[in-house]
Amino acid sequence: MNKSKIWLSSPHMGGNEQQFVKEAFDANWVAPLGPNVTGFETDLEQYLADDVFVGALSSGTAAIHLGLVLLGVQPGDEVLCQSMTFSASANPIAYLGATPIFVDSEPETWNICPNALEEAIKDRISKGKKPKAIIAVHLYGMPFKVDAILTLANRYEIPILEDSAEALGSSYQGKKCGTFGALGVLSFNGNKIITTSGGGALVAHSKALKEKAVFLATQARDAAPHYQHSEIGYNYRLSNICAGIGRGQMEVLDAHVQLRRKMHAFYQSELDSVSGILVFTEPSTDFYSNHWLSAIVIDPKKTNGKTRETLRLAFEAENIESRPLWKPMHLQPIFEKYPYYGGTLAANLFENGLCLPSGSNLTDADRSRIASVLTHFKN
Ligand X SMILES: *Cc1c(COP(=O)(O)O)cnc(C)c1O
Return the number of other C-beta atoms located less than 10 Å from residue 220's C-beta: 15
- Strands 160-163, 183-187: pairing kind: parallel
CB under 6 A: which stretch of 39-47, 71-79, 82-90, 355-363 binds ligand X?
82-90
Alpha-carbon distance of 267 to 272, in angstroms, equals: 8
Closest by CA position to 41, among listed 234, 252, 233, 204: 204
CB of 84 to ligand X, least distance (A): 10
Q: Is 140 in the site for ligand X (CB under 6 A)?
A: no
Q: x/- string (CB under 6 A) for ligand X, residues 58-77?
A: -xxx----------------
Q: x/- string (CB under 6 A) for ligand X, residues 31-60?
A: ----------------------------xx
Closer residue to ligand X, CB minimum distance, 60 or 342: 60
Among 99, 189, 240, 249, binds ligand X (CB under 6 A): 189
Among 9, 36, 83, 85, binds ligand X (CB under 6 A): 85
CB of 57 to ligand X, least distance (A): 9
Closest by CA position to 280, among listed 133, 132, 110, 116: 110
Alpha-carbon distance of 167 to 288, in angstroms, equals: 10
Closest by CA position to 183, among listed 157, 164, 199, 211: 164
Alpha-carbon distance of 327 to 299, in angstroms, equals: 18
Alpha-carbon distance of 354 to 319, in angstroms, equals: 16
Among 200, 246, 357, 359, binds ligand X (CB under 6 A): 200
22 is catalytic: no
Q: Which residue is nearest to ligand X (CB)?
A: 60
Return the number of other C-beta atoms located less than 10 Å from residue 28's C-beta: 9
Q: Which of 192, 210, 212, 327 is catalytic?
A: 192
CB under 6 A: which stretch of 45-53, 85-93, 201-209, 330-338 binds ligand X?
85-93
Q: Would you tell me which residues interact with ligand X (CB under 6 A)?
A: 59-61, 85-86, 88-89, 137, 163, 165-166, 187, 189, 200
Give the catalytic positions in this structure: 192
